[in-house]
Structure 1
Amino acid sequence: MATGRYRTGFGLMTVYLVLVGLIVTMATAFRGALLSLAVQPSWLEALTVSIATVALIWSIVILWSFWLVRPSGAGHNLNLAVAGALCVLVIAPSAYAARVAYLSHDVVTSVFSATSTTPVIAQDPWKGASRVNILLAGADAAPNRVGVRTDSVTVASIDTATGATTLFGLPRNLQRIMLPEGPARDRFPYGFTGEPPATPGLLNEIYQYAEDYPEMVPGVKAGERGATLLKQTISDILGIRVSYYAMVDMAGFAEIIDAMGGVRITIKEPITYGRYGEGLLPAGTRKLSGEDALWFGRSRTNSDDYVRMSRQKCLLNAVAQQADPVTLLNSFENLATATKRAISTDIPADLLPALVDLGQKVKGTHIKSLQFVPPLINTAYPDWHLIKRKVSEALEAKPAVTRRTASRPLTTPSPSPSDNAISLDEVC
């Protein structure tokens, strides 16, 4: 403008204002759509290239403008420094944004499978299903024992229209489990018994057993056999089709929470942990580190598996509610690294946009929980018909979908189980 190039100046100004307006509009009015685009590899690639291109062009405009004005004398060096600083101010945040886009692309392509077995239709990604059921498993591997044990088994049943969610928790010590029809049932016609006397034949052994014995799940490759058999088994137990699974390594879960900056929990009663009870989580509301949060969910000292299951549900609930985009963006690189290392899943990448949209609905509901633990269920001799009936009753209930009160504290639940699905707000 100062050199008389009004057409070029107005053109650049118009482009700048359009870009600013577009960014503000997308970040406010179309935030949900923006989150959906953020998990699509093709859009992430395009975003990375676009950010780099805009930063390059913008820097060229700054340097070109400086060259056109070409101040001389004492002001030359100062103006040159200003032009350089402006270029840095443009390039630095653009480089960071491009790296976030690149890391997002890397996480999506590394953790999630490329495509669904059947095409995902944008207008109806759930193919008319009223609910989607996802198995959430916590894998506890340790140097002093062989294989992986799924010590935490939860199925999240989500209403695809409203986001209303019920968590069904199965104890790790569930016994005499009937495996799906086929080779697995043929091997254990009267219920899963593991390899006695080395193993007692519990629910948490099924994943590793399938990995160790390929004939249990013929035609499925290593690394997927355990999850496949576990999904089929849980589907039969609950009487609902489990479509997908997500398994997190427990140590990796601690890394994810640390990457979030911790998770805020209210501990109602002091929790001791460690082989000899040497650790202590005192009562009160505080932000727990990843290690402390892991002990909050794992400790059985002075309690039992069932109290631990309740705490795990509360911990999952707290993480889901506190993992807002701003918090995650602040430590995105650490979170991306922890996620790739800790999580395995069969959720296809092309379903992620729909899952993100559904996740936004879930955050606005009261999550309910139903745990199949004593006295409701005898883990040694489970009443399979009762489990299916309770699941059916819980899913047939039509609770009102209301907003969660953000300030409501999270506390350790009562160890007494309920026969009916209860809101986690009532126990956490």
Structure 2
Amino acid sequence: MTREPEVTIVQRRLTGYRVQFFERLRALLAAEGVRLRLLHGAPTPLEATKRDGGHLPWAEHVRTRYLAGDRLCWQSFGAQTRSSDLVVVTQENKLLYNFVAMTVARPPRLAFWGHGANLQAADRDNWKERVKRWTTCKVDWWFAYTELSAGLVQQQGFPPERITVLDNAIDTNQLARWCASIDEQRRVQLRAQWGLRGRHVGIFLGSLYADKRIDFLLDAAEEIRRRVPDFELLVVGAGPLRAMVEAFCARHPWAHYLGPRTGLEKAEALAVAHVMLNPGLVGLGILDAFACRVPMLTTDCGRHSPEIAYLEQGRNGWMVPDSMMPFVEAATMLLTQEDLRAQLQVGCGISAGRYTIEGMARRFADGVGQCLGAPPLGQKALAWKT
């Protein structure tokens, strides 16, 4: 009698925003007769301060040790995955046991889940990126975050037919419902509460750190205000550059710092905004723009995460060359030209329906089935153990 195939995903740590994805994936695989196991370790002390960890009662813990000031991580998951027909790990150089799994303790099938490169690396040819490129073709399958990630993997010679593009997503369904439920009367109340007097509002939503280019944002905001006299800026988020934002808002009464906001409070901030201003790194925050129909404006800064692939120029967002004046001019247009903004809002709605956590789970499940049905690279297919 053929036994039920077993797939194990190994995560360095389990974050809260992934919990619903894993629940959906587990149900989809179970319906196809495949057992999903999830192994995860503990965060670093710094990561623990974020309080963004998740919990799943069926997930299993794997012992985690951090070394070299948390720059390296040892998670010896071999003993816990001996019965697994496929093991999926994230492609991170710091995960030392990955190198063991790729060589002396290789499971029947091994897959990477990842970006394809460190897209924020200042030097794409440093030794860390060279090591990552070397490992890219050492697995049997790839679960790539986006089409951008898939392209990077293919550039290293990995077979395209063994790449599953996931369209990485988080659950924005509730956020979209909250945004849709906020009527004009509530918007008036929120504007009064936050001291907004202008009719043209831009919002920055995200963590306040260097890759987000907060200094660029604030300089651009001053120039936008000169061109659009009733422009106002909302900044939502927290991080090491918070003091810079607070000082700027103290000097400019038309700039408002709301601090970190989640859930309904985040939806309320988005509901009063006309455009999302993010000149630096763009990641999963683009899904918030889609869900609440607030078009995003960014720059071609070279720091973006793979989700930048979701931005379709002139359809659901706008990207300009990486300099101040193009950014300011585009922001001015998006704030003052209602027809242009309405066109982008329609595109945001279409994209919100495409990039969903349900779709991501379905694509992952399909990729698992394809991987299990294919022989390991360069080897004959392995029969299921009986």
Shorter-chain TM-score: which interval? under 0.3
Q: TM-score, normalised by structure 2?
A: 0.27
Q: TM-score, normalised by structure 1?
A: 0.25
Larger radius of gyration: 1
Which structure has more relative contact order (CA 8 Å, sep 6+)? It is 1
